[in-house]
Amino acid sequence: MNLPNIEQARFNMIEQQIRPWDVADATVLHLMSAIKREDFVPTAYKAMAFADMAVPLPAQQVMLEPRIQARLLQDAAVQPTDKVLEIGTGSGFTTAVLASQAQRVISLEINPELADLARANLQRANIHNAEVRCADGAQGAAAEGPFDVIFLGGSVAEVPQALLGQLKVGGRLVAIVGDEPIMHALVVTRTSETNFKTDEKWDDNAPRLVNFPQPPSFKF
C-alpha cells in the first residue's frame, strides 16, 4: 500500500468501521488514527492492517478488529493519571493507545515471541511509559497494584476474581466475557473494598486469553 492509499484506508477504518460502532470518544478516535496501526501488523499481513477482521499474529494469537479495540478503549475511559494493567499485549497496538492516554501501562504477555515483538513495536512508536512483561496475565501483577484500569485484550469465560482484587476503589476492569456464540463486553467497577458494579455494554466475540479458568460445561 502506498502512502495515499494507507491514509485513505485509515480514514475509512475510522469512518466506516469504528464510528458506526458507537465509538464517539474524541481521544480514542484520534489515537486510533494517529498511532500507525500498520506498524503493529506482521509484514505478511500489512494489507489487512485496516480491515474489519482479526489479524493473525505469531503463536496462534490475533490482533482484534479495529472496532472491537476502539469500543473496549472507549469503555475503559482511561485518564492521564491512570495506572493501567493490560492482559494480552499481542503486537502492542492497544498498549500504545492505552499508554498515550495513561500515566503508566504494565502489559503482560504470556508468549515470549509476542512480548519481544510488542516491545520492538512500542519502541519504534516512541512509547516510553509502557512496560511489556513476559508473564501469565491470569495472575495479574499484584505487587504493582492496585490499578485504575485493568484491560483484557481477549475473552475470558468468567470475570477473573484474582484481577478484581487488584483494582483500586473506583477502578474498572474491561473484558469480553462468556462463551460463543455471544459474549458480552463488561465494565466492572470497584465501588468499595468489598463491592463491585457490573455494566454490560455490548455483544461480540473475541479469542480466548490463555490460562484463565474455564468453568466446567454442564452435562445433561
Q: Is the pLDDT of residue 218 over 70?
A: no
**Whether the bond into 215 is cis, omega within 30 of 0:** no
pLDDT at 135 over 90: yes
Predicted pLDDT at 76: 98
Nearest CA among 160, 201, 166 for reference residue 74: 201
DSSP 8-state code for residue 194: S
pTM (2 d.p.): 0.95
Distances (CA, A) of 168 to 49, 127, 149, 171: 35, 25, 8, 5
* 87-102 pLDDT tens trace: 999 999 999 999 999 9
Residue 13's closest CA among 41, 48, 44?
48
Domains of the chain: 3-204 (3.40.50.150)
